[in-house]
Structure 1
Amino acid sequence: MAISNGTGLKTHAATHPVWKRWVRFRGKDGNIYGGEPANPDIDVGQAIEQNIDVSVKVVAGNSALNYNAPFTGETQIIDELLSPISQIEAGTVRCVGLNYKEHAAEMKLAIPNTPTVFLKASTCIASASEPIILPPNVDYDEADYEVELAVVIGKQCKNISVSEAADYILGYSVANDVTARKHQDRTSQWSYAKGMDGFCPLGPCIVSSELVPDAAVLNLKTSLNGKIMQNGSADDMIFNIPEIVSYLSQGHTLLPGTVIITGTPCGIGISQDPPRFLQPGDQLRISISHGLGTQICQIARD
């Protein structure tokens, strides 16, 4: 697609951003920046936990959604990690439940014929390194973790085919679909139980779809206080990423910044024997391979 560059000349829109991995953060000067970690191999979440300085090559503006934004030549050190997509940019989070075969088996549920879709409010989105705060209306025996692959839409789309879906994916991130199980069981609608403030930690980064052309290669993992609870592969998905994006676009406009979370592998807390729910003081580590990185969140109560 040709666009104006402000001089009357036409240029072609970029098919991928200049960055390969995107982080959004507050610098030591108090300003918000976005850009690419200077070390392409660093796990941003782990580095921040270990108080290692993370140097970032700054991209003009602080939004991942500008495909034509260049590097400024400046570097900044992360002082406070932010979600890679802001709450305002993301809007309502689209969610697909029961999307892993082994997870369906552990829950003793039939494989669905159609994606199960629910929504999370934008206020669920939090950073990958801040505490998950359990509100007073969530009991001590119900808060659960769910590692999920997040898809970030980069270009507006509607009614697209499965074969077209990849053209609209900006990249991939790590998400945690935190869930209050007792609330979930009280109603057929899941948005309340899964939609409380901070119940969708996102990040630490977005990895460009240019680096991950096929999300089926990704490995998803959860550890709780050092014990591995979930360890699954995206190739166990019932509906793959192009199928999900295409399905969600039918009759729905997906705007740039839309976050789609795509289901969790087996091993959630409620499926343990006995069930293992999140408690204050727990350390939760959620990670996805191929550079998506690690969320490290303490559990606390409001």
Structure 2
Amino acid sequence: MKWIRFVDNDTNRGAGVIRYGMVDGEEVSVTEHTFADLLAGNEPTVIGTQELATIAALNPVPTPGKIVAIGLNYLDHCRETNTEPPKQPLVFTKFNTSLLDPGAEITWSGELTQKVDYEAELAVVIGRQCRNVSEADALSHVFGYTAANDVSARDLQFGDGQWVRGKSLDTFCPVGPVLVTAEDIPDPQTLPISSVLNGEVMQASNTDNMIFSVAQLISFCSHSFTLEPGDLILTGTPHGVGLGRSPEVYMQNGDLIEVVIDHIGALANPCRVL
């Protein structure tokens, strides 16, 4: 099932209310579900329908307890950054204040950073609390999947000596456009993934090229800290980032960046330098 989160503008249902809807082709069944209802598996109550084309999607994961991010999880990405492949998952975090809706502007101060890069990533939404889970059991703790852009200020990321600030500027974590439940993606290691900058394909890969699979990442993280329902795990980006190009390519004022993942769709955001 595909869930979309949006502002309901139907006055008969209560205009201005943020709702979740179930996407079926070009039609959305509008429900009274909250994010907590989704995670709990509660039966949805349908209160109307709406054409998908009339809906502006919001980030479908509005309140993650934490955003866990994984670095250097595709071999070709390690090569393009002249980095040794990690022997275990490289874990960092992004602050929740970096979350951004589909279609909203990625913004940054031109005085603070001049090297803002894109990173197409599959994002995992945890559905059940997990601690010390095995790889074999890990996927049973997944609620669903969505797309994310791990936007990165490379000059801050590498100048600081650690990654959090350069990865966590406000608007640096677009997520969406829909949340696809795990039963619709039984194997997350089979998904074509790409990024498109101003119509040009920059990254093109498949999640089967991950060094550490989704199941391995969940198991690894759960042996260090508890994963709670609603937590987000960004699973790493493939080769083709701006940093790895010659010459380097960074996002500029007026650019449009898209993250495209099969079965999930396109997460598109314009860019603006403040």
Whether 1:200 aligns to 2:173 is yes
Residue by residue over 1:201-235, the C-alpha shift from the partner in whole angstroms, topping out at 9 and shown as x without a partner, is 00001111101111111011111111110001111
**Secondary structure of 1:90's aligned partner:** coil
Contact 1:59 1:69 in 2 (8 A): no
One-letter amino acid matched to 2:108: L
Partner residue, 1:27: 8
**Secondary structure of 1:205's aligned partner:** strand
Cα distance in 2, alignment partners of residues 71 and 163 from structure 1: 34
Cα distance in 1, alignment partners of residues 161 and 113 from structure 2: 19
Cα distance in 1, alignment partners of residues 225 and 28 from structure 2: 35
Whether 1:215 aligns to 2:196 is no
**Secondary structure of 2:87's aligned partner:** coil
Counterpart pick for 2:133 among 155, 160, 163 = 160
1:166-185 matched pairs, under 5 angstroms: 166-185=139-158
Counterpart pick for 1:70 among 40, 44, 49 = 44
Change (3 A) 1:160 1:299: same
**Aligned residue pairs, count:** 265
Contact 2:252 2:272 in 1 (8 A): yes
Whether 1:236 aligns to 2:212 is no
State the 4+ residue runs in structure 1 displaced beyond 6 angstroms.
none
5+ residue gaps, structure 1, are 1-19, 43-54
Contact 1:91 1:121 in 2 (8 A): no
Residue by residue over 1:259-280, the C-alpha shift from the partner in whole angstroms, topping out at 9 and shown as x without a partner, is 0001000000011111110000
Cα distance in 1, alignment partners of residues 152 and 112 from structure 2: 10
Contact 2:131 2:227 in 1 (8 A): yes
Counterpart pick for 1:298 among 250, 270, 274 = 270
Of the structure 1 ranges 22-31 and 130-139, higher mean CA displacement relative to structure 2 is found in 130-139
Cα distance in 1, alignment partners of residues 270 and 205 from structure 2: 23
**Secondary structure of 1:61's aligned partner:** coil
What TM-score do the two structures reach when normalised by structure 1? 0.84
Partner residue, 1:7: none
Whether 1:90 aligns to 2:64 is yes
Cα distance in 2, alignment partners of residues 75 and 256 from structure 1: 28
How far off its partner does 1:67 sit? 0.7
Whether 1:270 aligns to 2:259 is no
Partner residue, 1:52: none
How far off its partner does 1:137 sit? 4.4
**Secondary structure of 1:156's aligned partner:** coil
One-letter amino acid matched to 1:227: E
Cα distance in 2, alignment partners of residues 153 and 172 from structure 1: 9
Partner residue, 1:103: 77
Cα distance in 1, alignment partners of residues 3 and 94 from structure 2: 23
One-letter amino acid matched to 1:80: A
What TM-score do the two structures reach when normalised by structure 2? 0.93
How far off its partner does 1:75 sit? 1.9
**Secondary structure of 1:246's aligned partner:** helix
Partner residue, 1:3: none
Cα distance in 1, alignment partners of residues 77 and 265 from structure 2: 23
Whether 1:147 aligns to 2:120 is yes
Partner residue, 1:37: 23
Counterpart pick for 2:218 among 240, 245, 250 = 245
- Cα root mean square deviation, aligned: 1.4
Contact 1:96 1:117 in 2 (8 A): yes
Partner residue, 2:12: none
5+ residue gaps, structure 2, are 10-14
Contact 1:57 1:71 in 2 (8 A): no
Partner residue, 1:81: 57
One-letter amino acid matched to 1:32: I
How far off its partner does 1:92 sit? 2.2
Change (3 A) 1:201 1:69: same
How far off its partner does 1:79 sit? 4.4
